[in-house]
Structure 1
Amino acid sequence: MTVEIDTRTDRAPGRLVRPGDRDWDAVRGAFNVLVDQRPEAIALPTDAAQVASVVGWARERGLRITAQTTGHNAGPLGSLDGTVIVNTSALTGVRVDERVRQVSVGAATRWREVTPLLAPRGLAGLHGSSPEVGVAGYSLGGGIGWLSRKHGMQTNAVTALEVVTADGRLVRADHEHEPDLFWALRGGGGSYGVVTGIDFEVQPLKELYAGALFFPVERAADVLHTWTGLLASYPEELTTWASIIHFPPLPEVPEPVRGRSFIVVLVAFLGDEADGSDLLRPLRALGPVMDSLAVQSPLGLNRLAMDPEQPLPFRSTTALLDRLTPAAIEEVARVGGAGSALGLVEFRHVGGALHRAPEGAGARATLPGDIAFLSLGVVPDPAAEPVVREQLLALEAALLPERAGDYPNFVMDPADPSAFFDRATWARLRRVKDAYDPDDLFRGNHHVPPSPTPR
């Protein structure tokens, strides 16, 4: 559905960018530049009251709404015909109350704005691999990172959300106020309203033992076999990721890794150096060519994963796995190793607290499996796409026998979101949608629709 917007009479409150405007291409872009977003318009409200006005404006004109800031994981939205993007990038700000270890942020706040304020106070948030990711989208979908095996998902550290609902109200959702909405937003995504602010708890952490072990990419199979064999013995205080990384030959990439390929074991240990070194001894015995492990501030976790900071064109695949079998490791090393078209083949050790539902948890309380897999390949031009797709499909086939499910924040293509939840949780998510948005005004990237209307 395409809705004609008369620029003479249909004036939205605040700034509205439409197709043909000079800055249209600048504001409609997604982090994955292969996602060609073409909404009916893009609203850029400057505060929560203006968000509420935009919601009313769109509803009166039969338009739907999706909220964005950084444009991460925009692919699942598909066509944006009849949809207005509410770009919340002006809703920033961070407030830290270190007495109660509580942080309040605007919906557009990125983790890179939060972590530097926490570390000097001896605190750390449950952020993921990239500081460029927004707190809101990360939290609404779950949020797994360096401290998750010990402290669980970020979404269950959330204590309150400020939300503009379909009827234009600005409500505070927490355990006492709008509890069903609070439950659904914590892991159920953005299908229920436009989030304008989030409060969440953080953890006491002055320092930890962290860093990376770099091995030649030709050793990928050896390292993955050893790493996989150690996982069952690792305590929840230790998080390790094993990643094959092909670094591009670009000036912004640090010289020691520029244009080179490695199998890298990334480490974050909530303990002292001696215990950490003991746990990692079998991996160090393989002879890393670079070793950056050291006791450091939690601020060092910000860029430990070396994720790209700027938008880029890519294709990806993902799965949660029960285990990584010896046969799968050999195929991963063959497909993702030297000469691969894939920039990243990553395996994160999860489990631990991610297997336990905390009291009062939201819609996403746990994740199945012990390993989270993610792979992507950069597609700079159409000629590169067939090879990238072929190699991603080869990895999927190798890992399929041990597939345990999906982590929605990693699923970057259209998918059936009901598959991300058990039946009872999915049914409850739809009941909350019925109560707060029965006309389906809001579109989450992994969308929860209202219940079917009885005939």
Structure 2
Amino acid sequence: MLSATLPSLSAAFLYPGDPGWDEARSAFNVLLDQHPAAIALPATARDVAAAVSYARAAGWRVAPQATAHNQGPLGDLSDTLLLNVRGLQEVHVDPGALRVRVGAGVKWERVVGRLNAYGLAALHGSSPDVGVAGYSLGGGIGWLSRKYGMQANAVTALEVVTADGTLVRADHEHHADLFWALRGGGGNFGVVTAIEFAVHPVEDLYAGALFFPYERSAEVLHAWTRMLPQLPEDLMTWVTLGHFPPIPDVPAFARGRSFAIVQGAFLGHEVDAWDLLRPLRELGPIRDTFAMVPPIVLADLAMDPLDPLPFHLTHHLVDALPVDALLENVGPDLSLMQFRHMGGALHRAEPGAGVRATLPGEICAMALGVVMDEHSDRAVRAMLSAFDTTLEPHRAGDYANFVEAPSDASRFFSPDDWARLRAIKHRYDPTDVVAGNHHIPPAS
């Protein structure tokens, strides 16, 4: 079938075999082989509305996609229109109001630099390559989360095309139930075309990383976990046990090497941070990059890969980290294990918050393995299984943005919130047209 364009609209439609089809259907995790019924490439919110109506008439569901992260939970797309919103690229910063408005296709990399110029910071995550909208709808935890909470609760308004093709604005005064559900409930309730959110004044902060030889992982993790109960909310720290590939994208000093890395961001002065980090510095890192820096540095602090790659991933929110058992049971076939300190504002439900107001657990433990062939696939799966088994006794819950496969989404919410989410889904999408990453079915 040839590419088609809806009359008087600029939203191109692609079908299997069309030029650009494979690029448009690709995901960040290249192990995913998405085969939708068709792909729409809208340029405006009006195009999105027309595409949703078109899909309903064709008997298809609609799955929004921007940067193609966390696509695995969507599962089979054979009866689905993949609605690629990467063309919605509006970015507007209002520094006086501490507000930002972006289109649904915008990545964090287009936002952080503009904010930095005004001495502002957003609650973005570890990678500038991730889309603002999808990250926000799923929760969003990053370097400032212990102080300010999740990005979902920084959202002040969303513009959404509902399943009947209507464009609505959802905020505290308009469609308040929809606004509540979208902030942490994912994209199940409509196709987001624009998002507005609050940001914070941050001229500079103390941030960087301490690098240790990988062989000292146990020492580093034990020292770090002992510190956690005393750390203030102004400080977010992560420990990453990682193997760096010998490629140009990796800083020269790290290529082909393995490290235990403590990364952190402190909303305060250097002299105070020195005391907080002293137990780790006393271990003798081989490289120390901590310094007073502008907030734009946080975009690349985690050194996440920017190019698509083949990987398997697992995670757990845990109340305690069994360091010795984990290092004994999980071998070197994983590309990284990462542990993020939670708590602080992540444990507090503020008035007016969305459905994902808090996250349980003291540590978010995540593991990822890059897969290059069948042998490495088996090895990575085995190590991820060992990671899961070791952490299972300490589990406190899940973070939906790190769940990379279809699952029962009710486990992310309390029974009352789950029932309310299903009722809202029924109100706005009774025939289940819109497919969010983690499926929330309409109430009967």
Give the TM bin, normalised by the shorter chain.
over 0.9
- Structure 1 segments of 4+ aligned residues over 6 angstroms from their partners: none
Alignment of 1:419-434 (within 5 A): 419-434=411-426
Q: Does 1:333 align with 2:327?
A: yes
In the alignment, structure 1 residue 227 sits paired with structure 2 residue 219 = no
Q: Report the alpha carbon displacement of residue 336 of structure 1 after superposing the two structures with TM.
A: 4.9
SS in 2 for 1:256: helix
| Contact 2:63 2:80 survives alignment (8 Å) | yes
Number of aligned residues: 442
Write out aligned runs for 1:8-407 (5 A): 13=9, 14-324=11-321, 328-336=322-330, 340-407=332-399
SS state at 1:415 partner = coil
Contact 2:319 2:363 (8 Å CA) reproduced:
yes
> Matches of 2:375 and 2:22 in 1, distance apart?
24
Partner Cα distance (1:179, 1:194) in 2 = 16
Give the TM-score, by structure 2 length: 0.98
Rounded Cα–Cα distance in structure 2 between residues aligned with 1:202 and 1:8: 41
C-alpha distance in 1, partners of 2:135/2:249? 26
**Does the 8 Å CA contact 1:244/1:336 hold for their aligned counterparts?**
no
Q: Deviations over 1:234-288 (max 9, x none)?
A: 0000100011010011122111000000000001001100000110000000010
The alignment-based identity, stated in percent, is 57
Q: Provide the aligned C-alpha RMSD in A.
A: 1.3
Q: Which residue identity lines up with residue 395 of structure 2 in the other structure? A: R
Alignment check: 8 A CA contact 2:3 2:18 kept: no
2:2 and 2:381 map into 1 onto residues whose CA distance is: 42
Return the offset for 1:397.
1.1
Could you tell me whether the CA contact under 8 Å between 1:336 and 1:345 is conserved in 2?
A: no
8 A Cα contact 1:331 1:395, kept in partner: no
Contact kept in structure 2, 1:217 and 1:262, CA below 8 Å: yes
Unaligned runs of 5+ in 1: 1-5
Q: Normalized against structure 1, the TM-score is what? A: 0.95
Shift of 1:8: 9.4
Tell me if the contact between 1:183 and 1:362 (Cα under 8 Å) persists in the aligned partners.
yes
**Deviation (angstroms), 1:171:** 0.6
CA displacement 1:192-217 (0-9 Å, x = unmatched) = 11100000000111000000000000
| Displacement of 1:333 | 2.4
Deviations 1:323-355 (A, max 9, x none): 11xxx2113323556xx1111100000110000
Deviations 1:67-109 (A, max 9, x none): 0011000001111021000000000121111111000001111
2:368 aligned counterpart, secondary structure: strand
Could you say which residue in structure 1 is the equivalent of 2:434? 442
Equivalent pair of 1:437/1:450 in contact (CA under 8 Å): yes
Task: Tell me the CA shift for residue 451 of structure 1.
Answer: 1.2
- What SS is found at the alignment partner of 1:375? strand
Distance 1:82 1:217, change over 3 A: same
Q: Distance in 1 between matches of 2:328 and 2:39?
A: 44
Deviation at 1:26, TM superposition (A): 1.1
**SS at structure 2 position matched to 1:20:** coil
1:20-51: per-residue Cα shift (whole Å, max 9, x none)?
A: 11221111000000011000010001000011
The answer as to whether partners of 1:210 and 1:296 remain within 8 angstroms in 2 is yes
